[in-house]
Amino acid sequence: MRATIIHGEKDIRLEEVPDPRLVSGQDAIVRVVASCVCGSDLWHYRGIASSAKVPRPIGHEFVGIVEEVADGVARVKVGDFVIAPFYDCDMTCANCRNGFSTSCLEKGDWGGEDHWGHPVDGGQGEYVRVPHADGTLTVVPGGAPSDDLVPGLLTLSDVFLTGHHAAVSAGVTAGSTVVVVGDGAVGLSGVLASTRLGAGRIVAMSRHAPRQALAREFGATDVVAERGVEGVAAVKDLFDGIGPDAVLECVGTKESMDQALRSARPGGQVGFVGVPHGEPELPVRRMFSTNVGVRGGVAPVRNYAEALLPEVLDRTIDPGRVFDLELPLADVAEAYAAMDERRAIKTLLRP
Amino acid sequence: MRATIIHGEKDIRLEEVPDPRLVSGQDAIVRVVASCVCGSDLWHYRGIASSAKVPRPIGHEFVGIVEEVADGVARVKVGDFVIAPFYDCDMTCANCRNGFSTSCLEKGDWGGEDHWGHPVDGGQGEYVRVPHADGTLTVVPGGAPSDDLVPGLLTLSDVFLTGHHAAVSAGVTAGSTVVVVGDGAVGLSGVLASTRLGAGRIVAMSRHAPRQALAREFGATDVVAERGVEGVAAVKDLFDGIGPDAVLECVGTKESMDQALRSARPGGQVGFVGVPHGEPELPVRRMFSTNVGVRGGVAPVRNYAEALLPEVLDRTIDPGRVFDLELPLADVAEAYAAMDERRAIKTLLRP
C-alpha cells in the first residue's frame, strides 16, 4: 500500500510499504477513506519536536471502512464505517473508564508502536492496523455516510474534540464568557465547542481575516487582533476590566499560555490543549494570587466521540468547516506545506 | 491597647499601641474575643517571607464583638459577634460577586494597609479597625455564642475554609477519592472539608501520631507516613495503581506540589492552598500528558463563611479541634514558638 513517511525536516514522502496484517486477536484492518494533517504534525515537519526517529510513518487522524477483523473482535464488524481517535485504547482499563482514554494502560500511537511493541501504521496511508479495535473505534451507525459528512466525522478523530476538551477543561457552561487563544483549526474548534456548550460571549483572538470569518460562523461574538500585553488589555476591557470566566489555550507556546493566564478573571480557568513547547512552566505564584486554574492536556477524544457523533450526523454542528483544502494523498507533501505556510487552516486527504 | 508586633526573625512582642478609631464611613471597631497564629505567619516568623517591612502589626484571623460603627455601616450593628476573614473586602465588586473576594477591587490586609493606604491593625491584638465592615464581617446570628463554639467560629476566619477551598478547588464531591498532602491545621481542615463534601476515601499523609489521630477523627480512612517517591508509590497502591481523583496540596513547597502532582490519577485535580515558596513552577508537560489540573490559591473564605456557619453553630462539624493549645495574648511569643517547633498544631489566643 501507499503511506506517508516523514524523513526529516520538511521531507514528507508518499511511499510503497507492506500492507498491514492482523497481529493480535483484537486487531482490525481499516481502509482509510479520509485522513488529514494535524497542527502537531507540523511540529515534527518543522523539526521542532525531533525526538522521534526518522524515517517513520506519520498521521494520526482517519476515518474508514473495516476490511478485516481478528477472532477476538466482537463489536466492530467488517463493512463498518469507523472513526479512529488519534491513539489506540482498550476502553476497559481504569483510566479509560474514568474518561481519560489518552492514559489507557494499553495505549499505542499511530506511526509508532502498540502497547506490545509491534509497529503500527500511520493514519496518512491507505490502510491501518488498529489494535484492540473494539475499544479504539467509534462505529458510525447506518454504514458509510454521505460524502459531505466525511469532513465533520473526521474532526471527531482529533481536532474538533480537542477544541471541545479545551472548552470542557476550562469549565465552559451555559452563559460562560470565553476567550480563545489561537486561531488554528483547534482554536476554531474551541469556538464551536464553546458555542455548543452555551457560552454567552466568545472572543476569538485572531488577526487573519479568513479565520476571523470562520470564528464568527462558529459563534464568536467578538474578535481581538492584538496579542501580548495589548491583547490582554483588549480582552479585559471587554469583560468589566477583570477578564472572562474561561480561556482556551490552543497554541502551546510560552507566550500563548502567558496570555491565557493573564486574560482570565480571578477565579477563572484556563483549558489548555496546545502541546507545550518552549518550557512554558506555569507561574504558580500568579495562579495562587489570582485563583486562576489550569486544566487540560492531550484530549481523550475517544471518550467524547460517541456523545457528539449524532450532532454531526444530523448536521446540528458542522465542525468539518475547518478543512479549507482537500488534496489527494499523492499530494501529501503539499498538504503539509500549505498548512506550514498558513495557506490552509487544515488539509483533508483522500487516498 | 495591646497588639502583637513582629520585629524580625523569631522576634514577636506584645506592645502598647494607639487604640484604633474610625477612619472612613464604612468602618467598624471590633474588640477581639479570640485570635490565632497562622501557618503563613510562621513564614514571616522564620524570616523566609521577609519582603514586608518590620516592625509591623501581625495576625489576620480573629472573631470579636462590634464596639463602634461609622455612619455608613448598615448591616453590622454594635454588639454583634462577628467573624473577620483574613483580609477585608467590599463584597459588592465584580470579583466578590464572582465568589473571589480575595481579589476584591478594594481589598486590604490586616497589619498592612486598607485600599486607600490607611494603616490597618493586625488581628493578634485587643481591637481592630475593620474597613467596609458591611462587606468584610460575617455576623453570627443570636449574638455571642457559648464559649466552646469560639474555636470553631474562629476557623471560619481562615484555616477551616482554606482547607475547604483546597477541597472545592480539587473538585471533591460525593464519592471522591482524596489524598491530603500536609498535616498542619490546613491539611487537617482539608480532611474534614473532604469528609463534609462526601468523599468516599481520604488519605492523610502524616507521620506525626497526634496529627494522624486528629485526621482520623476528621474522617481520614487511611494514613500514609511515607513522603516523596515512596509516598507517591504508597498512594498509587491504595488506588488501583493509578491514584486518587483529588489531591489537596496544603504545604506550599516544591516538594509537596511535586508529590501532589505525581499522586493524582490521570484526569485528576490538585487543589492547592499552600502559599507557594521556593519557586515551585508547575511542570506543564507533565500536566499535559496526564491531564492533571491545578486549581486553587488564596482562599476566598468570606464567600464561604455564611454557608458553613450554621454547621459550626449546630455542632454538625467541629473544625475548632485543630487548636491544641490556648494561651493568653500576653504569651503570643510562646504561641509562635510552639507552632514553629511543632509542639502545637495551632494556637488560639485570648486577649
Ordered strands of the B56-57 beta sheet: B11-16, B2-8, B56-57
All 3 cell numbers of residue B152?
A: 470553631
- pLDDT tens, B244-284? 999 999 999 888 999 999 999 999 999 999 888 766 588 89
Site of grid cell 476538551: A165
Average pLDDT over residues A249-272: 95
B10-41 pLDDT, tens digit each: 999 999 999 999 999 999 999 999 999 999 99
Average pLDDT over residues B146-158: 98
User: pLDDT (tens digit, 9 = 90+) per residue, A147-158?
Assistant: 999 999 999 999
- C-alpha triplet A304, A316, A238: angle, nearest 5°: 85
Please judge whether A290 and B281 are an interchain contact, meaning their C-beta atoms are less than 8 angstroms apart.
no
Q: Residue A93 corresponds to which cell in the numbers above? A: 482499563
Chain B residue whose CA is closest to A292: B295
In angstroms, what CA-CA distances link B250 with A22, A48, B205, B218? 51, 38, 11, 16
| Residue B209 Cα, gap to closest chain A Cα (Å) | 31
pLDDT higher than threshold 90 for residue A254: no
Residue pair A162/A98 in contact (Cβ under 8 Å)? The answer is: no
ipTM, 2 dp? 0.96
Cβ contact A267–B242 (<8 Å): no
Q: What is the mean pLDDT of residues B122-148?
A: 97
pLDDT at res. A278: 62
Let me know the angle formed at the C-alpha of B175 by B100 and B285, rounded to the nearest 5 degrees. 60
Which residue, among A323, A328, A319, has the nearest Cα to A349 in the 3D structure? A328
Give the least confident one: A244-253, A321-330, B130-139, B251-260.
B251-260
- Quote the pLDDT of residue A50: 61
Q: Is A51 on the interface with B (CB under 8 A)?
A: no
Kindly determine whether residue B267 and residue A291, on different chains, have CB atoms separated by under 8 Å.
Answer: no
DSSP state of B117: S
The enclosing H or E element of B30 equals strand B28-36
B237 at interface of A, judged by CB pairs closer than 8 A: no
| Structural domains of chain A, ranges and CATH numbers in brackets | 2-158+300-350 (3.90.180.10), 160-296 (3.40.50.720)
What average pLDDT does this structure show over B199-227? 97
Rounded to whole angstroms, how far apart are CA atoms B284 and A187?
A: 19
Give the integer Cα–Cα distance in Å for B52 and B72. 32
Q: Which three cell numbers stand for residue A240?
A: 468589566
Secondary structure element (H or E) that encloses residue A136, with its range: helix A133-136
Indicate the residue of B280, B290, B294 with minimum beta-carbon distance to A293.
B294
Q: What pLDDT score does B51 carry?
A: 62
The label of the residue with cell 464551536 reads: A192
Q: How many angstroms from the chain centroid is the CA of residue B104?
A: 17
Helix (H) or strand (E) holding B269: strand B269-272
Nearest of A211, A300, A220, A203 to residue A259 by alpha carbon:
A203
Question: What does the block give as the cell for A228?
Answer: 501580548
Instruction: Give the model's pLDDT for residue B280.
Output: 53
Q: What is the pLDDT of residues B49-106, one digit of tens each?
A: 666 788 999 999 999 999 999 999 999 999 999 999 999 999 999 999 999 999 999 9
**Strand locations in chain A, DSSP E?**
2-8, 11-16, 28-36, 56-57, 62-69, 81-84, 127-130, 138-140, 177-181, 201-205, 222-224, 246-249, 269-272, 293-296, 325-328, 347-350
Q: Which residues of B, range 168-227, sit inside 8 Å of A by Cβ? A: 169
3-state helix, strand, coil in chain B (%, to 5): 35, 25, 45
On the question of pLDDT at A280 being above 60, the answer is: no
Residue B284 at interface with chain A, using a CB cutoff of 8 Å: yes
* Per-residue confidence (pLDDT) for residue A281, from 0 to 100: 82
A56-77 per-position pLDDT tens digit: 999 999 999 999 999 999 999 9
**Furthest CA-CA distance within chain A:** 61
Distance CA B112, CA B133 (A): 17
Q: Is residue A279 over pLDDT 80?
A: no
